[in-house]
Amino acid sequence: MTTPGTTTIRVRLETRDQLNDLIAEDFPGKTVDDVIGRLIAEHWKAGSLADVERYRRDNPAGFANYLRDSGLMDTASAADLEGVA
């Protein structure tokens, strides 16, 4: 039986057991839903950071303009801006 607004997903028993062990060890008191939500958020954040890094590398002038226009230039160190036009 499921709770309203929830569903069941199929995973191998080994995967279920590994996930439960991981939660017990690293996230005590959290639910599988909590940990999967965290995984999704971290995945999205990593992708976003990679996109920003790719933009910085592929378009240094555009990235420098972005920093200047957003006010981030004020808090960026010289090392952060090395190679930025």
- Model confidence over 14-68: pLDDT tens digits? 999 999 999 999 999 999 999 999 999 999 999 999 999 999 999 999 999 988 8
9: left (phi over 0), alpha (psi -120 to 50) or beta: beta
| Cα–Cα dist 64/83, whole Å | 10
What predicted TM-score, i.e. pTM, was given to this entire model?
0.64
- Model confidence over 31-45: pLDDT tens digits? 999 999 999 999 999
Contacts of 20 (CB under 8 A, 6+ apart): 32
> What is the pLDDT, as a whole number, of residue 58?
97
